[in-house]
Structure 1
Amino acid sequence: MRFPALAVVCLLVVAGCVAPPGSDVPDTPPGYDEDPTGWEGGYWYDDNVSVDASDGMDRTERRAVTSRAMARIERIRNLEYDRSVSVEVISRDRFRERGGIGRGYTEWDDQVWEATFLVGENTDADDAFGEVYGGSVVGYYVDDSIVLVADDPDEVSVDRPTLVHELTHALQAQQLSLGTPTSTHDAGIAANGLVEGDANYVMDRYEGRCGSEWDCAGSGRASTERSYNRGLFLVVFFPYSDGPEFVGQLRDRGGWDSVDDAYDDFPESSEQIIHPERYPDESPANVTVPDRSSAEWERFGDGTETVGEATLYATFWHNDIVPEDHLYSDERRYNYSHPITDGWAGDTLVPYRSGDSFGYVFGTRWDTDADAREFHEAYVELLDERGAERVSADTYRIPESDSFGDAFRVVRDGRTVRIVNAPTVEALESVHEPRS
């Protein structure tokens, strides 16, 4: 999967170590022949637990809080845990020493993220993603284990929303699926929109019952100001923002069964997460980019990529084409839906190289001619914002002093817009020869 399913929750801080239920806990409660939904590790979902969190929690208290949380998640999600889950807490420094999460990023990825105008030539994708993940990841689930990332792991407390979120991932892994590797970036964040959206949807409903219906132990959310690439963070955070709304729409259609069924038919694009009414019927268009490069230029790396609607929104927002306050115009979540990108039908991005020089061809398709025209105009405006000089009717040159300093050819033909990038205006034709 290009974009792995990991529990990134915006600016939460967690600490403490939560143990799985002890071996002395019976498999079933008194009077039951099997483990019922809403009971785990010796606790019912509506049990009270005696916990004094003012000076942290000891092992017994943490075990009780975790077991009851699992029972409550069962109650909300209508699924049953098969087995216990271990929980480890590490420092943020240790998390970085382990290499963070996800995969390493290459020169091929540098071209992909340069094409989105989110990572310029003055840095590389690996460093940029490392900065985002290193400062914002607070927990993740892998192989029946939860790892919580704490700024100060010596403070023995439990961040309740993060614990609930990660325990939901454990339930998904045991009863549903955390997904399989996807072939493109956009398909990856779409799959994450279901997985992470489900976990955040459960987390939100859990928190909504705390203080009114349920007595809840553990701390709530804490925020910390961090420095990171805001546009890239917007891409990373997309599944957590729009995923819960997508899951809620599925649940409204047919209850939890409808959500469960989606794990057998994952959403294919971020478009379907942003616009749930387009799932599952509106699949991405197949956009072909023929190889018209000269002998000295070649395709390399992992082949082609699909950027998708959500990432294109981040492109225009990060570069001030979409007003900053538009992102916050939906009180329930970030708003990734904008007229510039709403008409996305599909795209294909192909990185090229010639020795130490790089370029790309980015083909996009839109629902209507008007949608393509709007994207084309917004893209030219973006180039203008970067100080581009218009060299000819469809050719532009951003100065070398800019971190995206390159030449661009931008051509619209009906519902398609094709962008060619090269280090110089002269090299554009070598990367992708135009057709008259």
Structure 2
Amino acid sequence: MSDLGPSSHASAPEPREPTSTNARTPRQRRALRVVIAAIVVLGLVAGTGAFFLRSDDATSYPDQWDARIKPYVDIVEEERGLTFKHPVKVRFLDKDAFEKTVRTDKKDLDKDEREDIRETESLFRAFGLISGDVDLFDAFNDASGSGTLAYYSFDNRSITVRGTKLALASRATLVHELTHALQDQRFDIADRLKKLGKRAEDGAPTTEPDALRAIVEGDAERVANLYRMSLTKKKRKAMQKAEAADSGDSLEEMKGIPKVVLTLLGAPYALGQAVTEAVAAQDADDVDGLFENPPPDDSVLLDPLKALGDMGDAVDVKIPTVGSGEKKFDSGQVGALVTYLILAERIPLKEALTATDTWTGDAYLGFKRDDVVCARVSYATESGSAALLTTAFEDWIDAAPGSTATVERSGNQVIFESCDPGKDAELTNDASTKALELVATRGYVGAGIIQAGAPAPVARCFARRMIEEYSVADLTDPRFGADDPEFAKRIQGFAADCR
């Protein structure tokens, strides 16, 4: 993926981190949220289904850290400003043994799980996220297996590393995973996610678990990046070279995987890091507050500066009703992030992001009509902004001639409905990677302005002006605008306008 970081221009991490080994998990019907896609498709494997499970009675801890790991434990404690309560077990596995822990054999799926996958594939087509006959199980399975260097299991509280030795390319990843162990010990992550996920498992409209997961990933990636930046220039260059080589191998293995799959798996890392960077830029100690009082929904991933103020409570939106001749099979919340990705597949990215910025909540119904999978979403928007989201969905519908999708507006509410058009329809622009780059860049620009001492409203205004006026390629180029007095003058004008 392209560079998405702030001054360091750290690239968005490839999806690489399951949270448990091949433990069978409860069947879950939440099909269309950022990590829920992975839950449904990879219900038996690494993924957030097992993330919820914990077997405390069976968990044991070593008396001391593995000597190979201890230096990185010290680094994590220093960079994160917290101490471990106890060591955790770390195991090193050769490539073949490691991959067995992050992949699932399709033969292990039962009838209900296979039906879940088919429904999810239909929903992805209904929302224009994929086209054609895509096997999402294989896509998520391949992405998880190919991009994984190490993982922390919230199930048995242990770390597993690919390789019998700690390779240079895996060291920052190890810091990331150790940060998860520290988070779990200090903030009881798995049990809290289990409680947050209960409502979602029952079909209630919520993306609060997704917001917390993104903060968990973003904080760990932030600490890993601090570690990278603490290295000497020579060591950092060597690590970057090793990571690039490993990433190149992974990308080769990932050819053919739909971009939206990689985007859904990578978004919590890139966008969660933007949230934690914004908070840390104001006061590093405030990052703990994100764990103690997580955002009520995933809109914070599109606007990280929300985390700097009172995020309030989630907006209560009622699940759309089932009509005559319709059979419900799912319900929940699409969320701000997936709504943005849906729009971004057919309309200009900046229009999609501006429209999604009006999102204040939604509730979605998955149903079948004449055996065709459909979804109906009720959106709540900021006061006076429903027309903006309605227009965006109208443009999205117009971009696919012959589409049977509909959208209507009532006050501040927008009702959107779409059905699976079938495997022969061409639906997407394959734009999810660029969509992620755009919103992540905006987040990091805002975090940088916070670090410079500006209040959140000024930083938000400035970041939006910057992405309106300049491309992602420009804004992620460390030399862009250097020694250009006209550029400096224009930037000063933006800052003055936003005060």
TM-score under structure 2 normalisation?
0.59
Q: Secondary structure at the match of 2:365?
A: strand
Q: CA deviation at 1:215?
A: 9.4
Show the counterpart of 2:485: none
Matched, 1:189 2:210: yes
Distance apart, 1:356 and its partner CA:
3.4
Q: Aligned pair 1:297/2:300, yes or no?
A: no
Would you say the 8 A contact 1:132–1:229 is kept in 2? no
**Cα offset for 1:11?**
6.8
Q: Note if 1:148 corresponds to 2:161.
A: yes
Alpha-carbon distance change, 252 to 345 in structure 1, aligned in 2, over 3 angstroms: same
- C-alpha displacement of 1:209: 0.6
Judging changes above 3 Å, is the alpha-carbon distance between structure 1 residues 376 and 244 closer, same or farther for their aligned structure 2 residues? same
Shift in Å at residue 364 of structure 1? Answer: 1.3
Q: Alignment partner for residue 77 of structure 2, among 74, 90, 93? A: 74
Name the counterpart of 1:135. 146
- 2:123 and 2:228 map into 1 onto residues whose CA distance is 38
Secondary structure, counterpart of 1:221 in structure 2: helix
User: Percent identity of the aligned residues?
Assistant: 21
User: Would the aligned equivalents of 1:161 and 1:221 in 2 still touch at CA under 8 Å?
Assistant: no
Any idea what SS the aligned residue of 2:280 has? helix
Residue 69 of structure 1 aligns to a residue in which SS?
helix
Q: Distance in 1 between matches of 2:317 and 2:79?
A: 41
Aligned-pair CA distance for 1:250: 2.5
In structure 2, the CA distance between the partners of 1:22 and 1:96, relative to structure 1 (3 Å rule), is closer
Deviation at 1:278, TM superposition (A): 2.5
Question: Which segments of 5 or more consecutive residues in structure 1 lack a partner in the other structure?
Answer: 1-7, 14-20, 26-40, 42-62, 327-335, 390-397, 399-406, 425-436
Asked if 1:316 corresponds to 2:313, the answer is no
**Cross-structure match for 1:247:** 276
- What secondary structure does 1:339 align onto? helix
1:228-272 deviations in Å (ceiling 9; x for gaps)? 22123222212211212211333344432x222322222222212
| TM superposition shift of 1:170 | 0.9
Deviations 1:191-234 (A, max 9, x none): 11210111011111111111169999977523222322212322
Amino acid of the structure 2 residue aligned with 1:287: V
* Residue 289 of structure 2: aligned partner: 261
- Tell me whether 338-347 or 245-254 shows the greater mean CA deviation: 245-254
Q: For 1:168-207, what aligned pairs fall within 5 Å after superposition?
A: 168-178=179-189, 179-181=192-194, 182=197, 183=200, 186-207=207-228
C-alpha distance in structure 2 between counterparts of 1:320 and 1:283, whole Å: 31
Instruction: Report the Cα offset of residue 286 of structure 1.
Output: 1.9
> In structure 2, what is the Cα distance between the partners aligned to 1:216 and 1:341?
38
2:334 to 307, 314, 323: 307
Distance 1:85 1:199, change over 3 A: same
Residue 299 of structure 2: which of 263, 266, 271 is its match?
Answer: 271
Question: Which protein, 1 or 2, shows the higher relative CO under an 8 Å CA cutoff with sep ≥ 6?
Answer: 2
Alignment of 1:211 onto 2:225: no
- Measure the CA separation in 2 of the matches of 1:242 and 1:99: 24
Look up the match of 1:162.
Answer: 173
Say which SS state the counterpart of residue 167 (structure 1) adopts.
helix
Q: Deviation of residue 277 (structure 1)?
A: 3.4
Answer yes or no: is the 8 Å Cα contact 2:332–2:363 preserved in 1: yes
- Label 1:70 to 1:218 Cα distance change in 2 as closer, same or farther (>3 A): farther
For 1:214 and 1:291, how far apart are their aligned partners in 2?
Answer: 58
Match of 1:221 among 243, 252, 257: 243
The secondary structure found in structure 1 opposite 2:145 is helix
Partners of 1:376 and 1:92 lie apart in 2 by 49
Alpha-carbon distance change, 114 to 90 in structure 1, aligned in 2, over 3 angstroms = farther
CA distance in 2, matches of 1:211, 1:65: 20
Selected match of 2:318 from 288, 293, 311? 288
> 1:269-307 CA distances to partner (integer Å, 9 max, x unpaired)?
22123323334424332222442411x32212xx41211
Distance, in Å, in 1 between the alignment partners of 2:258 and 2:372 is 25
What letter is aligned with 2:294?
F
SS of the residue 2:409 aligns to: strand
The Cα shift of 1:357 comes to 2.8
Mapped partners of 1:241, 1:423: distance in 2: 30
SS of the residue corresponding to residue 214 of structure 2 reads helix
Structure 2 unaligned runs (5+)?
1-11, 18-60, 422-499
The equivalent of 1:378 in structure 2 is 392
**Hey, which of these two has a bigger chunk of helix by percent?**
2
Contact map agreement 1:111 1:360 (CA 8 A) in 2: no
Which residue of the partner structure matches residue 340 of structure 1? Answer: 355
Q: 1:338 to 1:242 in 2, by over 3 A?
A: same
Q: CA RMSD in A?
A: 3.6
Q: Provide the secondary structure at the position in 2 that maps to 1:360.
A: strand
**Equivalent residue letter for 2:347:** I
Per-residue deviation at 1:119?
Answer: 3.4
* 1:331-410 mapped onto 2 (5 Å cutoff): 338-354=353-369, 356-369=371-384, 371-386=385-400, 388-389=401-402, 398=403, 407-410=404-407
Question: What is the deviation of 1:121?
Answer: 5.9
